[in-house]
């Protein structure tokens, strides 16, 4: 058994960190042995911080993974042998990892397992604004929601202890504004990593129905202890003001900051409960409810607490929030929205001139290889009245916009290929699926298997630019150049697999290849290769 590795010393006690980095730093200081992730905004910077740290100090182990499910499973393996693990993802990544996440709630977690999830209310770079607190509730595990960067640090450290105490994975939920803003964070003393320890009871990890029923019961039995922890947690502060019958405010996560910015202007000051841990502290909520006439709920994301309040409180109490229409149903909160909900006038910020600027929709970089692939695809499909091009998530999703208008869908990672198969089987011809290299490895391999097994009439265009470009040029998991061989290994006939350079000089050649394969009735794969321009620039700058 390898010896435990002592944490490096000395190091600064105060650092200026992004919310994401505060989570990473806390995990390192909590003695995490390994961290895994798939890049996704706004969570990418968590693993990037851990990778930089391991590059300097040799620990903890940190790695990008094929997708969030594999990342979760790898972290789970670390936990199974007694060591602490961190797994990070954006909110939609938790959909991909949902199977191991929900099931791991009932195994006997060994080393602390923390799931850092960054939600993206207002969808700054996401396809929905789902709220990960529902996932934690669904799995019946605890969720901690920091209000600022210091709490992101403190709560992440605490999450490892809670995970080990109850034998559950613990979710730390961030939102974009917290993940991507910086503040001073005071770090606590670093702790060494756990010793290796295989699970004492093997049947606590084998989810055969007989074991699973027993383990599910155990998870239900610890629910009251989780609620008790929430009730007594310092993260949930109740501040009752004035005589009873006034107004009350419940804040969750970063909404506390917005509330605190304005509260001094309120007279009388409302009673206030801040909620930072879930299950929500129901007794504190009832205490507040007994003291006030109405409650405004300020929370970023879905009306998670507001809905729970309806089940906790007497129907006579007025509850204001997103469901009642006192706050917008969609989008992130901001200080002005909160001021309006508190019946305060709009804050008087500095007034800036508003010059008339032309609209500048997002665009592919000049010289991006995807532009050449889209040009070739447009040529290959010219003359077909009903052609369908399904696509996926990456820089190439910008191909939906003019001047390309080249793709017609982007739903979730890997969906392009499965959707193309469905459309082809519904009778549409021709159908092309466009998918990036990293997205193909993340979730495109299995639907291509379906295409091959069914002999479906689908042409898959894999855009291999050698990196995960959209999230900052992280390396694609497998070296470039493997996709042709992979397609053949999955059963696509070798004569219908082509690898071609995506270059302005080769547009006509690529168009001809694509046209031929589109007209072939059966599965075909065309891999368009050329390094992302931005990644090439970074690579050259690093080599100087």
Instruction: Select 481 or 491, whichever has its Cβ closest to ligand SF4.
Output: 481
**Residue 278, CA distances (Å) to 165, 238, 365 in order:** 16, 15, 43
**Residue whose pair of structure tokens reads 């996704």 in the numeric block:** 40
Sign (positive/negative) of CA torsion 26, 29, 31, 34?
A: positive
Stretch that binds ligand SF4, among 7-15, 65-73, 364-372, 444-452 (CB under 6 A): 364-372
Stretch binding ligand SF4 (CB under 6 A), from 149-157, 173-181, 293-301, 531-539: 531-539
Burial annotation 357-391 (CB, 10 A radius, 16+ → b, else e): eeeeeeebeeebbbbbbbbbbbbbbeeeeebbbbb
Using the rule CB under 6 A, which residue among 73, 336, 425, 534 binds ligand SF4?
A: 534
C-beta of 316 vs 366, nearer to ligand SF4: 366
Per-residue tokens: 102: 């929900």
> CB–CB of 149/317 below 8 Å?
no
Say how many residues make up the chain.
Answer: 544
Q: Does 368 bind ligand SF4 (CB under 6 A)?
A: yes
Residue nearer to ligand SF4 on the CB measure, 266 or 533: 533
Residues 391-430 interacting with ligand SF4 (rule: CB under 6 A): 395
Nearest of 129, 124, 116, 125 to residue 302 by alpha carbon? 129
Tell me: does residue 469 bind ligand SF4 (CB under 6 A).
yes
Q: In angstroms, rounded to a whole number, what is the distance separating the alpha carbons of residues 214 and 431? A: 49
Question: In angstroms, what is the minimal distance from the CB of 371 to ligand SF4?
Answer: 8
Q: How many residues bind ligand SF4 (CB under 6 A)?
A: 10
- Cα gap 63→261, rounded to integer Å: 39
Q: Of 327, 334, 281, nearest to 308 (Cα)?
A: 281
For ligand SF4, which is the closer residue by CB, 30 or 398? 398
Q: Minimum Å distance from CB 367 to ligand SF4? A: 7
Site for ligand SF4 in 219-278 (CB under 6 A): none
User: According to the binding rule CB under 6 A, does residue 533 interact with ligand SF4?
Assistant: yes
Measured from the CB atom, the residue of 68 and 437 that comes closer to ligand SF4 is 437
Nearer to ligand SF4, 60 or 394 (CB): 394
Exactly one of 312, 365, 387, 490 binds ligand SF4 (CB under 6 A); that residue is 365
CB of 410 to ligand SF4, least distance (A): 15
Residue 532 in the binding site for ligand SF4 (CB under 6 A): yes
Token pair of 393 as six digits:
């998530």
Least distance from ligand SF4 to the Cβ atom of residue 532, Å: 3
Smallest gap from Cβ 535 to ligand SF4, in A, equals 6
Q: Of 159 and 470, which CB lies nearer to ligand SF4 in the complex structure?
A: 470
Concatenated DSSP letters for 223-250?
A: HHHHHHHHHH-TTS-EE--SSTTEEEEE
DSSP reduced 3-state for 171: strand
Residue ranges that bind ligand SF4, judged by CB under 6 A: 364-365, 368, 370, 395, 465, 469, 532-534
């Amino acid at each position: 058994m390898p010896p435990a590795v002592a944490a490096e010393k000395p190091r600064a006690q105060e650092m200026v960190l992004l919310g994401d980095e505060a989570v990473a730093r806390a995990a390192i200081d909590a003695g995490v042995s390994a961290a895994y992730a798939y890049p996704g905004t706004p969570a990418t910077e968590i693993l990037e911080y851990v990778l930089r740290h391991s590059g300097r100090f040799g620990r903890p182990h940190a790695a990008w993974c094929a997708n969030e499910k594999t990342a979760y499973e790898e972290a789970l393996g670390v936990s199974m042998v007694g060591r602490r693990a961190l797994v990070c993802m954006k909110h939609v990544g938790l959909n991909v990892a949902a199977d191991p996440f929900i099931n791991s709630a009932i195994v006997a977690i060994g080393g602390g397992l923390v799931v850092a999830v960054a939600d993206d209310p207002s969808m700054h770079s996401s396809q929905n604004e789902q709220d990960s607190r529902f996932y934690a509730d669904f799995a019946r595990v605890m969720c901690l929601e920091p209000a600022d960067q210091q709490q992101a640090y403190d709560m992440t450290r605490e999450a490892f202890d809670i995970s080990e105490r109850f034998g559950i994975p613990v979710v730390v939920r961030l939102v974009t504004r917290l993940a991507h803003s910086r503040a001073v964070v005071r770090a606590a003393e670093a702790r060494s990593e756990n010793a290796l320890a295989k699970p004492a009871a093997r049947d606590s990890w084998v989810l055969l129905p007989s074991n699973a029923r027993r383990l599910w019961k155990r998870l239900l039995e610890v629910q009251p202890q989780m609620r008790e922890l929430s009730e007594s947690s310092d993260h949930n502060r109740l501040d009752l003001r004035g005589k009873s019958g006034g107004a009350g405010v419940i804040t969750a996560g970063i909404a506390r900051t917005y509330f605190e910015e304005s509260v001094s202007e309120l007279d009388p000051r409302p009673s206030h409960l801040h909620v930072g841990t879930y299950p929500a502290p129901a007794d504190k909520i009832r205490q507040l409810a007994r003291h006030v006439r109405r409650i405004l709920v300020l929370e970023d994301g879905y009306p998670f607490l507001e809905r729970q309040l309806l089940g906790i409180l007497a129907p006579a109490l007025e509850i204001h929030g997103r469901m009642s229409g006192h706050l917008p149903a969609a989008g992130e909160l901001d200080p002005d929205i909160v001021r309006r909900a508190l019946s305060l006038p709009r804050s008087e910020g500095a007034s800036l001139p508003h010059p008339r600027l032309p609209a500048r929709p997002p665009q592919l970089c000049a010289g991006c290889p995807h532009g050449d692939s889209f040009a070739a695809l447009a040529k290959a499909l010219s003359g077909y009245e009903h052609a369908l091009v399904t696509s996926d998530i990456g820089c190439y999703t910008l191909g939906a916009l003019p001047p390309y208008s080249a793709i017609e869908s982007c739903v979730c990672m890997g969906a392009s290929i499965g959707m193309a198969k469905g459309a082809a089987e519904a009778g549409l011809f021709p159908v092309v699926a466009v998918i990036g290299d990293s997205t193909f490895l993340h979730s495109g391999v299995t639907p291509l298997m379906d295409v091959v097994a069914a002999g479906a009439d689908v042409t898959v265009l894999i855009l291999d630019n050698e990196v995960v470009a959209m999230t900052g040029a992280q390396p694609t998991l497998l070296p470039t150049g493997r996709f042709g061989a992979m397609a053949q290994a999955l059963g696509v006939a070798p004569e219908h697999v082509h690898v071609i350079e995506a270059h302005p000089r080769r547009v006509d050649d690529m168009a001809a290849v694509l046209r031929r394969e589109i007209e072939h009735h059966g599965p075909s794969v065309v891999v368009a290769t050329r390094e992302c321009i931005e990644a090439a620039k970074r690579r050259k700058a690093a080599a100087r």
